[in-house]
Structure 1
Amino acid sequence: MTTHLYALDFDGVLCDSCGESATSALKAAKIRWPELFERMDSSVDEWIIDQMHILRPVVETGYENLLLVRLLMEIRFPPIRRSSVSSSAGLTVEMILENWAELKPGLMKDWKEESEPLVNLFGKVRDEWIDKDLAGWIGANRLYPGIADALKFASSELYIVTTKQSRFADALLQQLAGITLPPHRIYGLGSGPKVQVLKQIQRKPEHKGLSFHFVEDRLKTLKNVVQEPELDGWNIYLCNWGYNTANERIEAESIPRIQLLEISDFSKKLK
């Protein structure tokens, strides 16, 4: 009988989806702002994809990838600039990486964008890619080493808690890991803040007496958990293979509740 429950983030913990998310965002940006990409050659696409790999740690929800693509375009091509953020002197990828949370609201306002239409567009582009080329879409993602076996042979109760749309997480678990989780075990985009999801999981009568574990690659999310007294019983982990920076890992080491996790230890824990 299992005595442990693991709530797992998806992107950055189980799956390296950066190639797929960057490519999908670029496709979606070309639909949303076609005028920005007129007369741009393939070298621009390649440059954007390269920069998106660097910027991936700042992305909390998928639609933010579209904003990053547009901001990169405005940095590279001054004549198309439409935001005060990109017009500031010397804005660099490194500055975006350090200040994204402060930059994003200004970009949304300057570009007159709302999150919901961007979420829907991002999802639509992914759905169309899956419909037309499932193998290509799957191939743009990869599970981190050892993850598939860790999930298949886990003796713990497993939940997915992610800001990714549930249908995409489910498809990747089936195609890359060969496992199917019941729908009620996957909390995706629209399920609410992760802190609230963890509370819901903890309160389920069937989970009484279990040891709770939450594995995440975003330090900001774990700091939110630390601030919730109701979640004091959770063991929380920052994985060191996901979308976080060296500075964030150093900061995590100074927070007693947060444990830094190696991928080899993660696989052992699930078993």
Structure 2
Amino acid sequence: MLVLALDFDGVLCDSVDETGTSGWKAGGAIWDDMAADRPSPAVLDGFRRARPAIETGYQAILLMRLLLDGADPDALLADFTAREPEVLARAGRDVAALKTLFSTTRDRWLAAEPEAWAALSPLYPGVADWLRTLPADSDCFIVTTKERRFVERLLSGAGVAFASERIFGLDYGRPKEAVLAELLACHPISTVCFVEDRLATLTRCRAQPGLERVAMRLAGWGYNTMDERRTAERLSIPVWGLTDLFGSFDQEIRP
């Protein structure tokens, strides 16, 4: 039996434009020069290029700040983590405050312009049809740093019914490796396959004692770079395409 644990952003949903725009809007509450309703096309394009550097939504605020300051998107792929503390200090707010700001900004935008908000976070091609046609007994879960209510809104908007109790979001309050451990405990004779677009997350989870039975897969269509995909192969982490995901319940998968 196979249990699929799927990241959301970068695996099921191409949310880069919404995340970047939400980060910009939230930044407008901190910096006057980010008060415009939308980022410029150039800044948003830079965000698309640098998106693999961030893991969690609130970091979009800091990444947008750096891009507006003229930082090179390709350089940020390598040094965003090192630069994050300095931008956080400039914001004058701690991580918890930025998470709250990012979430409430999203909520306000969703309430005011639901269609415009959802349009910037489409599911990847074929994902909605695949999710809608999964057999009822398929064990499929979503493990994400996005808050569950946003995941539910995007899935329902795409015509996908997905049980709330199978969505482990940011508000669940546990890191992805802890959720994977819970899934292993609940499915002791099944193979748990974790599909994630962030290589650093996969390697962190793989290093956790007790997760040796989890089959790690990098979503090659998501927010990662060619270098990261090559590194994944060297680390014996298979790089999947969307067709691999769609056929996952029909193949034998091993850790």
Secondary structure at 1:160's aligned position in 2?
A: strand
Aligned counterpart, 1:195: 177
Cα contact 1:48–1:69 (8 A) shared by 2: yes
Give the one of 208, 211, 215 matched to 2:195: 215
- The Cα shift of 1:194 comes to 0.8
Deviation string 1:192-231 (CA, Å, 9 cap, x unpaired) is 2111111012112xx2322211000000011012212311
Q: State the alpha-carbon separation in 2 of the partners of residues 182 and 41 from structure 1.
A: 34
Secondary structure at 2:77's aligned position in 1?
A: helix
Q: How does 1:155-194 map to 2 (within 5 A)?
A: 155=135, 156-176=138-158, 178-190=159-171, 191-194=173-176
- The Cα shift of 1:188 comes to 0.8
Aligned counterpart, 2:253: none
Q: How does 1:1-271 map to 2 (within 5 A)?
A: 3-34=1-32, 36-37=33-34, 45-75=40-70, 91-155=71-135, 156-176=138-158, 178-190=159-171, 191-204=173-186, 207-256=187-236, 258-270=237-249
Question: For the aligned residues, what is the CA RMSD?
Answer: 1.8
- The Cα shift of 1:154 comes to 2.0
Question: Which deviates more, 121-130 or 60-69?
Answer: 121-130
TM-score by length of 1: 0.85
- The Cα shift of 1:32 comes to 2.1
Unpaired segments ≥5 residues, structure 2 = 251-255
* 1:218–1:41 Cα change, 3 Å: closer
- 1:234 maps to a residue whose letter is V
What count of residue pairs does the alignment treat as equivalent? 247
Deviation string 1:144-180 (CA, Å, 9 cap, x unpaired) is 111112211223211110011111011111112x223
Cα contact 1:154–1:270 (8 A) shared by 2: no
Q: State the alpha-carbon separation in 1 of the partners of residues 67 and 113 from structure 2.
A: 27
Secondary structure at 2:24's aligned position in 1?
A: helix
* Rg larger for: 1
* 1:112–1:128 Cα change, 3 Å: closer
Q: State the alpha-carbon separation in 2 of the partners of residues 129 and 61 from structure 1.
A: 19
- 1:113 maps to a residue whose letter is R
TM-score by length of 2: 0.91
Q: State the alpha-carbon separation in 2 of the partners of residues 266 and 37 from structure 1.
A: 39
Per residue, is there more helix in 1 or in 2?
A: 1
Q: State the alpha-carbon separation in 2 of the partners of residues 216 and 106 from structure 1.
A: 28
Q: State the alpha-carbon separation in 2 of the partners of residues 113 and 162 from structure 1.
A: 24
- 2:192 maps to a residue whose letter is F
- The Cα shift of 1:129 comes to 1.5
- The Cα shift of 1:249 comes to 0.4
Secondary structure at 1:212's aligned position in 2?
A: strand
Secondary structure at 1:230's aligned position in 2?
A: coil
Q: State the alpha-carbon separation in 1 of the partners of residues 34 and 54 from structure 2.
A: 23
Q: State the alpha-carbon separation in 1 of the partners of residues 74 and 118 from structure 2.
A: 30
* 1:96–1:210 Cα change, 3 Å: same
- 2:24 maps to a residue whose letter is L
Cα contact 2:25–2:37 (8 A) shared by 1: no
Q: State the alpha-carbon separation in 2 of the partners of residues 171 and 228 from structure 1.
A: 32
